[in-house]
Amino acid sequence: MNYYLIASGLIFLAAAFGYLNVRFLKLPTTIGLMLITIVYTLGVLAVSVFDDTLLKAEAELIRQIDFETILMDYMLSFLLFAGALHTNFQELKKLRWPIIAFATLGVITSTFLIGTATYYLLAVLGTPVNYIYCLLFGAVISPTDPIAVLGILKQANAPKKLEIKIVGESLFNDGVGVVLFLTLFSIASATGPAVGPADILKLFGQEVFGGILLGLLIGWITYRLLKSIDDFSAEVIITLAAVMVGTVIADELHLSAPLAMVVAGLLIGNDRARSAAMSEITEQYVDKFWELIDILLNALLFVLIGMEMLVLTYETNYLLAGLLAIPIALLCRYASLWVPVKLFERKLDFVPHTNLIMTWGGLRGGISIALALSLSEEMNREMFLVMTYVVVVFSILVQGLTIERVIGRLLRDR
């Protein structure tokens, strides 16, 4: 496998599609890149009716790319660290309890609601599936994608209090969602003794709390190193090393790398740490470096998402189930947020229609597709992958394009 050739091809497509978006469409980068890639992919599929040479070449290229490994083991840590680094820590701290409730209770509730609804939906469609596999689909769809959310909310003109809730939830709930998925996956694939409640709690606790503690440790060490010197080039490299080494340690210790990187990024990026550990020029270089990393990896990610269309298994039942999964996912997200919103809305003076806006603004993205790709064949991988893809495309293109208007209309009506 020629990794340099594959990387060059993807970056070329990201650059070309990015140019077309900025020059003509002028959409948010996330939406524009995905839309152009999907149109391009549909064009390749149309041309294949007459000559399938290009389709075969591109499909083979996509099959050589391990999307799940690339996103979950490499890209995600960089993207989450970059997102957390630029998140207002003080505002996040004020809303920590509702954000924790959204990211834990909300994700767990949504997983079981979506899983149960999907179980009965597939039975009605004549494609009955084991309940535990439907719960896995629920875990795939429940986490909102911070990569998609951060990219689109920047241009949606959401009130700051509302934006920090959605962004904060997205930064943490994907880590919780991944851990929940891994826990359910262990249960579904167990061939020996049955996995008991104690095993589930141990795995969940190790991944979540271990990841948070690791993130605190990495953040503190990085902060001390940055504070002890004043050289912007060395300090940028230290932040890069923190993410790369921290991810390796998390994987080796079976801790949640996403949660570790979010915590480390928040710790290093908060105003007090910045003023104490970084000079003005260092702060500028660190911010610009991670902003560029964020832009590049986002571009590659959404080009990859669009090109995954080439290797999907298109069956009528799969597509119909995917279309019906869209309202299920939205309704279950609304229901899962209802209790946390009602619990905190009076005390923290929530923006009107917070639940509705957070439901429509909770976008799904690459994380959902990566989790779906990790399913085994006996877990109905092809069907759930198509269903996930349909939900993700609707989420990015329809919800992403309309969230600004939805926010404006709902808040103007008050």
Contact 319, 168 (CB under 8 A): no
CA distances (Å), origin 131, targets 113, 122, 245, 380: 12, 10, 38, 12
Per-residue pLDDT of the chain (414 residues; tens, 9 = 90+): 578 888 898 899 999 999 999 999 998 888 899 999 999 999 998 999 899 888 888 888 888 888 988 898 889 999 999 989 988 888 888 888 999 999 999 999 999 999 999 999 999 999 999 999 999 999 999 998 876 776 676 666 677 777 888 888 888 988 889 889 988 998 888 765 656 677 777 877 888 899 999 999 999 999 999 999 999 999 999 999 999 999 999 999 989 999 999 999 999 999 889 999 999 999 999 999 999 998 899 899 999 999 988 889 889 999 999 999 999 999 999 999 999 999 888 777 788 889 999 999 889 988 999 999 999 999 999 999 999 999 999 999 999 889 888 888 888 755
Q: At what angle do helices 280-307 and 366-373 cross, to 10 degrees?
A: 50
The alpha carbon torsion through 183, 359, 84, 369 (nearest 10 deg) reads: 50
Contact 315, 379 (CB under 8 A): no
CA distances (Å), origin 287, targets 28, 166, 269, 292: 20, 22, 9, 9
The separation between CA 405 and the C-alpha centre of its own chain, rounded to angstroms, equals 23
Dihedral sign for Cα atoms in the order 129, 338, 147, 330: positive
158 Rama sector, left if φ>0, alpha if ψ -120 to 50, beta otherwise: beta
pLDDT at 151: 64
Nearest 5°: the CA angle 254, 258, 261 is 105
Token digits for 370? Answer: 């990566």
pLDDT at 150: 67
Nearest 5°: the CA angle 121, 124, 126 is 110
Contact 168, 95 (CB under 8 A): yes
Rounded Cα distance between 365 and 389, Å, is 9
What domains does the chain contain, in order, with CATH numbers? Answer: 3-63 (no CATH), 68-412 (1.20.1530.20)
Residue whose structure tokens are 């039975």: 123
pLDDT at 155: 66
pLDDT at 268: 95
Q: Among 411, 398, 412, which Cα is nearest to 152's?
A: 398
Q: Tell me the pTM.
A: 0.92
CA distances (Å), origin 103, targets 282, 353, 399: 33, 19, 20
Query: Counting Cβ atoms within 10 Å, is residue 68 exposed (0-12), middle (13-18) or buried (19+)?
Result: middle
